[in-house]
């Protein structure tokens, strides 16, 4: 199922999740609106009501932002890093076979893409984001100092809520690869999420060694478990070149 901007504007995603196991954990519409208003108020307090808003994308927002923006630029946030820290039991997995999606967690830095949203469009565009990213409360909206083309701005980013039951914490690569390789959810396979994020980063001249490593290990696991694998494959060196790291599935 591909969720569109219109689906979010009409609140259809909430309706679709109403009969799912996650229904009881959805934030109320009133709670979402209060969170949105508080986030916009913090921007106004810092910069007034005239300055445009920036949104920092580090995962699916890079390749599927869905929001109206007038500029997209490479950006870096400090104090947070990207990782597969959120179990996905609906969008990229199920309750019996959860997938994983990316979140920002404390420490380090992260390179991604920032989107400039005109201030008079911010409330409408942020509401789309809230209905996409904030329904379960697994993320917390934060204004983070962000470097964009040599300037420092505040950008909205969705960081991990460590108190949420779906917070996975730091998992070993083998566990992450297993989830990405096996899980499929409402939006499609979990591995596709990783693949499209890598392509989105590469198309913006960026790369992430952690994500590169996971993709290589995922492909190596595929090769080792393919029907054509021979019984002596386990003895083969793991230094042989892999297929194109992003475009082959």
Could you list the active site residues? Answer: 133
Task: Please give the sequence-ordered ranges of beta strands (E in DSSP) within the chain, or none if there are none.
Answer: 53-57, 71-88, 99-117, 139-148, 151-160, 184-185, 188-189
DSSP string, 71-133: EEEEEEEEEEEEEEEEEESSSS--SSS-EEEEEEEEEEEEEEEEEEE-GGGHHHHHHHHHHHH
Pairing of strands 139-148, 184-185: unpaired
Cα 81 from Cα 47, distance rounded (Å): 26
């Amino acid at each position: 199922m591909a969720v569109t901007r219109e689906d979010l504007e009409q609140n259809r995603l909430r309706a679709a999740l109403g009969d799912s196991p996650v229904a009881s954990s959805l934030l109320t519409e009133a709670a979402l609106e209060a969170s949105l208003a508080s986030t916009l108020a913090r921007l106004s307090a810092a910069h007034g009501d005239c300055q445009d808003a920036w949104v920092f994308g580090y995962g699916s927002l890079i390749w599927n932002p869905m929001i109206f923006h007038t500029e997209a630029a490479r950006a870096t946030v400090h104090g947070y890093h990207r990782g597969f820290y959120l179990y996905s039991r609906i969008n990229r997995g199920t309750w019996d076979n959860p997938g994983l999606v990316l979140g920002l967690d404390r420490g380090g830095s992260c390179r991604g893409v920032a989107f400039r949203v005109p201030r008079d469009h911010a409330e409408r565009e942020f509401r789309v984001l809230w209905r996409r990213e904030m329904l379960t409360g697994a993320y917390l909206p934060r204004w983070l100092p962000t470097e964009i083309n040599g300037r420092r701005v505040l950008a909205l980013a969705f960081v991990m809520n460590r108190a949420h039951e779906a917070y996975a914490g730091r998992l070993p690569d083998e566990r992450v690869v297993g989830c990405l390789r096996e899980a499929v959810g409402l939006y499609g396979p979990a591995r596709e999420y990783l693949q499209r994020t890598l392509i989105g980063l590469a198309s913006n001249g960026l790369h992430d060694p952690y994500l590169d490593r996971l993709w290589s290990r995922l492909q190596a696991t595929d090769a080792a478990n393919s029907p054509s694998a021979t019984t002596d494959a386990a003895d083969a060196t793991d230094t042989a070149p892999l297929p194109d790291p992003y475009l082959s599935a």
